[in-house]
Amino acid sequence: MIATIQYNSKKLQIDLSKPLDISIPMRASKTNVNAWYLEEPKIEPVKSGDWIGSVEKGADVNFNNIMFNPHAHGTHTECVGHITKEVHSINKNLKQFFFLAEVITVAPEVINDDFVISKTQIQFALGNKKRDAVVLRTLPNMKDKKSKQYSNTNPTYLLEEAAEYLKSKNIKHLLIDLPSVDKEKDEGKLLAHNAFWNTKGKLRLDATITEFIYVPNKVKDGCYVLNLQIAPFENDATPSKPVLYKILE
């Protein structure tokens, strides 16, 4: 099914039958991707007296409770409310869901004992392109990103200058295949988060960060239409399902 999307003065065509899902599904398993020192998510049938909400256990329906943390247990999209005293909801601040996105691949640099993504790297990858969103894939790009246990591993992160540069380019939506844009243990500075959302000036309420994506190697660097799907949680963050579509020639 071919759809036409109006972007500024251009009409872009995409094939809706060929989505490129870059989300990581959430599973009740110790092999579920994980960060921030939490246990794995739980998906369990409701128990009420002798009744168990499982067809296998004799119920008419499957009726599960789900316990998870959006920041720790899979692909999620967050707004500035993640780091502000004032409550800001991703559900209220993300009002559009289709964007022009650039997929870029970066091999992190080493500074001291840290692997980092610098302004120069992003600047080189983006050039003069004008985009709503950047989808950042880090190297090496192994499938174990979908099950990795990140706690206490000091994963790759963005330097503050890189986040500042993305803000200066008016990138509204940053998607990354890491548990955070910031260093795992940074004494609460959250330099990249603060820079991207401009917390020292006018807050970028309509800007989002999506973490814990996985971009398969078959998805080439370049321009795509992004459909950023979220669950309607009134919270700073929500599980999400970002989907890319190739732009037809």
Tell me the per-residue pLDDT of 161-181, one tens digit each, with 9 for 90 and over.
Answer: 999 999 999 999 999 999 999
Q: Which fold has domain 18-26+70-246?
A: Glucose Oxidase; domain 1 (3.50.30)
Evaluate if residue 5 carries a pLDDT over 90. no
Residues, the chain: 249
pLDDT of amino acid 9? 83
The whole-chain average pLDDT of the chain stands at 97
- List for the chain the helix, strand, coil content (%; round to 5): 15, 35, 50
158 has a pLDDT exceeding 90: yes
Model confidence over 84-102: pLDDT tens digits? 999 999 999 999 999 999 9
In this prediction, residues 23-44 reach a mean pLDDT of 98
The mean per-residue pLDDT over the stretch 43-71 comes to 97
For the chain, the structural domain boundaries read 18-26+70-246
Confidence of residue 7 (pLDDT cuts 50, 70, 90): confident
- Average pLDDT of the segment spanning 34-44: 98
Q: DSSP character for 219? A: S
Q: Is 121 helix (H, G, I), strand (E, B) or coil?
A: helix
Residue 222 to residues 48, 123, 133, 163: CA-CA distances in angstroms?
52, 14, 12, 20
In this prediction, residues 51-62 reach a mean pLDDT of: 97
Percent of the chain with pLDDT over 70: 100
Assign 2 a pLDDT band (cuts: 50, 70, 90): very high
Planar angle of CA 66, 72, 73, nearest 5 degrees: 45
Asked if residue 8 has pLDDT above 90, the reply is no
What is the model's pLDDT at position 10? Answer: 86
Q: Which residues of 202-215 are buried (b: 16+ CB within 10 A; e: fewer)?
A: ebbbebbbbbbbbb
pLDDT greater than 90 at residue 20: yes
Q: Is the pTM of this model over 0.85?
A: yes
